């Protein structure tokens, strides 16, 4: 039922953003050490993302990310009309999530961030983070290992927190939500559109890498023998 899928995308994105923002606020309350704050922020995000993918993946696919949804449309894995609904509910969920986190810590529900994040290095970081995310997702789905998503997708995001200059937003809905908190995880509204633009470039690169390394399996022509021979070996045509 489509409303359940939209609801799953809303709740998933809402709780993801609430986790990112809330753990950043808590980190600032517990420590003045930026490394400690970032570690706490990363750990909370990784754990929550794994839980959200596991609980909601069977309902909506656990996109929680317009870039993931856009790639799914291009691959004809989701109808464009339904994908539009996904994106709307993802963005709404992100805005609800930032309000939830802010209010929990007695801050204004929405407060534009003053945290500037711009420059070539940071934008390159977003390309790398988003490309890697889409590549991991593509590799899991193309190899039939989607059940590992709750482990490997958060693992990539957690690693990218530390090896990318942008700390791995990798998600337009999360980026929009984070523009409405003037706390550790915020991003100035003026920097949102460039971030999203480079995230979409990264998504395109990740989709290309998926096609290059894990192309779709093409059914054999009708006049060829079945790919599973009497020897029990699988024909190369059916290998990814």
Q: Would you say residue 231 lies in a domain?
A: no
Supply the pTM of this predicted model: 0.89
Q: What is the pLDDT of residue 41?
A: 98
- Percentage of residues in the chain with pLDDT exceeding 90? 89
Which domain covers residue 155, as residue numbers? Answer: 2-217
Answer whether 110's CB lies under 8 Å from 178's CB. no
The count of residues in the chain is 240
**Domain containing residue 94: CATH number:** 1.20.1080.10
User: Which tens digits make up the pLDDT trace of 151-180?
Assistant: 999 999 999 999 999 999 999 999 999 999
Collapsed DSSP state (helix, strand, coil) of residue 31: coil
Q: Are 115 and 182 in contact (CB under 8 A)?
A: yes
Report yes or no on 191 lying in a domain. yes
Rounded Cα gap, residues 95 and 90, in angstroms: 9
Task: Assess contact for 93 and 173: CB atoms under 8 A.
Answer: yes
pLDDT for 204 equals: 98
Residue 225, in any domain of the structure: no
How far are the Cα atoms of 55, 70, 96, 185 from residue 147, in angstroms, in the given order? Answer: 12, 22, 28, 30
The number of distinct structural domains making up the chain is 1
Closest CA to 97 of 13, 163, 197, 165: 13
């Amino acid at each position: 039922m489509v409303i359940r899928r939209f609801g799953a995308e809303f709740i998933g994105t809402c709780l993801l953003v609430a986790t990112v923002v809330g753990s950043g606020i808590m980190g600032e309350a517990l420590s003045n050490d930026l490394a400690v704050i970032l570690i706490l922020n990363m750990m909370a995000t990784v754990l929550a993302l794994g839980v959200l993918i596991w609980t909601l993946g069977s309902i909506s696919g656990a996109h929680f990310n317009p870039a993931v949804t856009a790639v799914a449309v291009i691959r004809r894995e989701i109808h464009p009309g339904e994908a539009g609904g996904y994106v709307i509910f993802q963005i709404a969920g992100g805005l609800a999530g930032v309000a939830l986190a802010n209010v929990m810590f007695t801050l204004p529900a929405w407060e534009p961030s003053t945290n500037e994040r711009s420059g070539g290095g940071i934008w390159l970081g977003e390309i790398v983070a988003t490309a890697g995310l889409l590549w991991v997702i593509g590799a899991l789905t193309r190899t039939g290992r989607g059940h590992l998503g709750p482990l490997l997708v958060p693992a990539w995001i957690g690693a990218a927190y530390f090896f990318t200059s942008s700390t791995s937003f990798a998600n337009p809905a999360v980026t929009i939500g984070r523009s409405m908190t003037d706390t550790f995880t915020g991003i100035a509204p003026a920097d949102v559109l460039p971030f999203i633009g480079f995230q979409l470039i990264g998504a395109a690169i990740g989709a290309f890498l998926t096609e290059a390394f894990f192309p779709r399996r093409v059914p054999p022509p009708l006049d060829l023998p079945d790919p599973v021979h009497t020897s029990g070996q699988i024909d190369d045509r059916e290998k990814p």
